[in-house]
Amino acid sequence: MERSSMNPQLVEEQLDWWLHTTSQSEAWRSLSGSELDWKLKIVSQAGFNNRELEHPAGKLLGGSSAINGLVYTPPSPAGINAWAQLGNSNWNWETL
């Protein structure tokens, strides 16, 4: 369907991305390194023992977010309270 009122700002490579969609939380790991990954290279860095690293980047709707997993590490009460000790008394475990 064509809509002349739309003005796309981004055009991505068209792949059969729907073949890879899943509701399994661990299935995203299979997309990194696949045909849906641009497999960008990071030039060798002294801080990484002169290794050339690969940086995953998604080439499907959602970009890299589509091939990366969500990692959430909740803060500890001590970590939150450390903010209050730096001068912002409203940022502490009890008030957040």
- How many CB atoms within 10 Å of residue 60? 22
- Which element (helix H / strand E) includes 55? strand 51-55
Radius of gyration of the chain (CA): 21
- How many CB atoms within 10 Å of residue 38? 15
**36 and 60 Cβ atoms separated by less than 8 Å:** yes
**Across 11-34, average pLDDT:** 62
Q: Name the token pair of 45.
A: 């860095």
- Which element (helix H / strand E) includes 79? helix 77-85
For the stretch 38-87, pLDDT in tens is 999 989 989 889 998 888 888 888 788 778 766 567 888 998 999 899 99
